[in-house]
Amino acid sequence: MHHHVSRALALVATCMLSGNGLAQAQYPEKPITLVVPFTPGSGSDIVARIIAKGLTETIKATVVIDNKPGANGALGAQAVARAKPDGYTLLLGSATTNAVNYAFFPGRLGYDPSSFDFIAGLGASDVSMYINSAQPWKSINELIAHAKKNPGKLSCGSGNAVTQVACEYFKRRAGIDVVTVPYKSNAQSLTDLAGAQLSFAFSDSTAAQAFVAGKKVRSLASAGETRNPVAPDVPTFAEQGLKDFEFTAWTAVFAPAGTPAAIAERLNGAIVKISDSAEMAQLRSKAGSTAMAIDLAAGKRFVAREVASWKKYVEETGIKPEQ
């Protein structure tokens, strides 16, 4: 009797396992929801629409885009963190939702780094320091020297959480007294910089492209690990003597933690392929960002590094987000 029961249980287990494998092999069987934690028409939203179209072509998926803006991207991220880890709910995540927010709102997000599995990288845009083209400074050291001679007279423009922390961290590291002026977007702070209302500003290269092209502002330093391919003549902060000063705006696709590995691999392969498309390459060159085609293991390491860096930046500056 006992022998028959154990055989029956073994049979059930085998069926369940093969059923699970079958479900993964048939993936996707139903529409995939791609949650964008920002408004329709935003940069993230434009990328999401290219991904949706690409997934329809590569893995025959129907993709529904669900815009859930609010709370610095936390509302949308929270919804995905709570979803079933079956590959049918994905998040278009970013440096803000999946790194900065953990440092800004510790324990108050309703999700944490362990809530997600990295699926695929989309693009990265180094944050740079920009000055009005009429300014004479040729390096950050010249700007720092000027700021030391004129305490409290210079201003740093910031347009989001990433650039706000960059302003504060730069002031602290350079040992200068500068006023940080927060704006609703980087484009707004750059508009005032172009109009000589600010001394300098931090922005991702995406938002700065038009201003640089219009010769109103120029970049003094890039906060990337290496020079930005979009502006190869601009030296990094590290090259100018300010080490450990790396700020990158990036986007990536995430899934709820525990998503089957076979599904994650399939999505990664498909999205890397879409990322290689002419449409994505054109969008990146227009936005001044670079491709981020990495596998699941490299993605996991990248996100862990970013989470640790932002924790360090926020703790060292003691900065609090605007409530």
Half-sphere exposure of 114 (CA within 13 A, CB side): 1
Q: Which helix (H) or strand (E) holds 4?
A: helix 2-25
Separation CA 108–CA 16 (nearest Å): 38
Determine contact, residues 117/254, Cβ cutoff 8 Å: yes
Domain 30-125+248-317 part of CATH 3.40.190.150: yes
Question: What is the model's pLDDT at position 319?
Answer: 81
Rounded to 5 degrees, what are φ and ψ at 132? Answer: -65, 135
Say if residue 256 is exposed, middle or buried (CB neighbours under 10 Å; 0-12, 13-18, 19+): buried
Q: What ranges in 97-230 are assigned the alpha helix state H?
A: 101-104, 140-149, 161-174, 186-194, 205-213
pTM of structure: 0.79
Separation CA 235–CA 285 (nearest Å): 20
- CB neighbour list of residue 78: distance below 8 Å, 6 or more residues apart: 109, 110, 111
Domain 126-240 part of CATH 3.40.190.10: yes
Q: Is 219 helix (H, G, I), strand (E, B) or coil?
A: strand
* Domains in the chain: boundaries: 30-125+248-317, 126-240
Question: What is the model's pLDDT at position 43?
Answer: 78
Residue type for position 320: K
Determine contact, residues 67/40, Cβ cutoff 8 Å: yes
- CB neighbour list of residue 14: distance below 8 Å, 6 or more residues apart: none
Say if residue 206 is exposed, middle or buried (CB neighbours under 10 Å; 0-12, 13-18, 19+): buried
Tell me the sheet residues that pair with 217.
132
Question: What is the model's pLDDT at position 75?
Answer: 94
Q: Report the b/e string of 42-63 with b at 16+ CB within 10 A.
A: ebbbebbebbbebbeebbebeb
DSSP string, 33-70: EEEESS-TTSHHHHHHHHHHHHHHHHH---EEEEE---
Packed helices 2-25 and 261-275: angle between N→C axes, nearest 10 degrees: 10
Fold match between domain 30-125+248-317 and domain 126-240:
yes
The residue to which tokens 């396992």 are assigned: 17
- CB neighbour list of residue 243: distance below 8 Å, 6 or more residues apart: 237
Measured between alpha carbons, how far is residue 79 from residues 61, 93, 235, 287, 304 in Å?
21, 12, 40, 28, 21
Tens digits of pLDDT across the chain (323 residues): 455 544 545 544 444 444 455 556 689 999 999 999 988 877 788 889 999 999 999 999 999 999 999 888 899 999 999 999 999 999 999 998 999 999 989 889 999 999 999 999 999 888 999 999 999 999 999 999 999 999 999 999 998 878 888 999 999 999 999 999 998 888 899 999 999 999 999 998 878 888 999 999 999 999 988 888 778 999 999 999 999 898 888 999 999 999 999 999 999 999 999 998 988 888 888 777 888 989 999 999 999 999 999 999 999 888 876 54
- CB neighbour list of residue 93: distance below 8 Å, 6 or more residues apart: 37, 77, 116, 251, 252, 253, 254
- Residue 40: asked if its preceding bond is cis (omega within 30°), the reply is no
Question: What is the model's pLDDT at position 8?
Answer: 47
Separation CA 191–CA 205 (nearest Å): 14
